[in-house]
């Protein structure tokens, strides 16, 4: 970048990434990085950007994680999204989604939607969750609440939105903080390793 004027000036250099053929709805380009550069008259400076995996990722609602898909990505640099002065296209290889971590504030709905977290919570509090119709009844066990029971449907929706830490309230203390900590640890098993492999 060079200042060809007679006065000192500054410019915000913006770096955009666009998924050329995204399988999900995404903007044509997304701001991935920027840098404010001040230059004296005649001064020239090279601007470098280092992009991480997240710059190419989208939120995968099914996996509850950031994901990058295979394909062409356009890289563009300019003063704004409407003033792009350099463009190129690169090919990106997909990487497995990184599972979002679970903590005491994660709502029950996300625990049940994630296979690993669901297995952990089912082992610890499956009976309680079946009472509220949050898990299907066990084979040979008592039937769960009827699907058309509005009272249970309302309660189910309310409970699904609660953070996992509130589970102790519904068990009158039978589900302790120690059990909650162990449950969170089981749900997050391998998450850090996955992040290290795909970052």
pLDDT band at 198 (very low <50, low <70, confident <90, very high): very low
* Residue with the larger pLDDT of the pair 149 and 162: 162
Strand locations in the chain, DSSP E? 9-19, 30-39, 58-60, 65-68, 71-80, 83-92, 95-99
Does 178 map to a domain?
Answer: yes
Residues of the chain above pLDDT 70, percent: 71
Query: What contacts 150, CB < 8 A, 6 or more positions away?
Result: none
Q: Are 41 and 6 in contact (CB under 8 A)?
A: yes
pLDDT digits (tens, 9 = 90+) for 25-68: 889 999 999 999 999 999 999 999 999 888 998 887 766 678 88
pTM of the predicted protein model: 0.52
Domain with 41 in it: 9-99
Q: Are residues 93 and 115 in the same domain?
A: no
Domain boundary among 67, 99, 131: 99
Both structure tokens of 193: 């390793």
- The CATH number of the domain holding residue 21 is 2.60.40.10
């Amino acid at each position: 970048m060079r200042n060809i004027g007679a006065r000192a000036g500054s410019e915000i250099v913006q770096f955009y990434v666009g998924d050329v053929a995204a399988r999900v709805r995404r903007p044509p380009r997304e701001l991935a990085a920027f840098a404010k550069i001040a230059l004296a008259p005649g001064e020239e400076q090279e601007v470098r950007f280092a992009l991480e995996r997240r710059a190419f990722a989208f939120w995968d609602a099914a996996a509850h994680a950031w994901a990058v898909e295979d394909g062409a990505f356009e890289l563009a640099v300019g003063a704004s999204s409407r003033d792009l002065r350099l463009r190129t296209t690169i090919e990106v290889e997909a990487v497995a989604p990184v599972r979002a971590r679970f903590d005491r504030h994660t709502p029950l709905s996300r625990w049940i939607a994630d296979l690993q977290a669901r297995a952990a919570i089912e082992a610890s509090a499956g009976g309680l969750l079946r009472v509220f119709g949050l898990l299907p009844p066990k084979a040979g066990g008592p039937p769960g609440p009827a699907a058309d029971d509005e009272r249970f449907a309302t309660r189910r929706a309310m409970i699904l939105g609660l953070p996992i830490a509130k589970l102790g309230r519904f068990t009158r203390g039978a589900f302790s903080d120690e059990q909650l900590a162990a449950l969170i640890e089981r749900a997050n098993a391998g998450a850090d390793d996955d992040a290290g492999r795909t970052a």
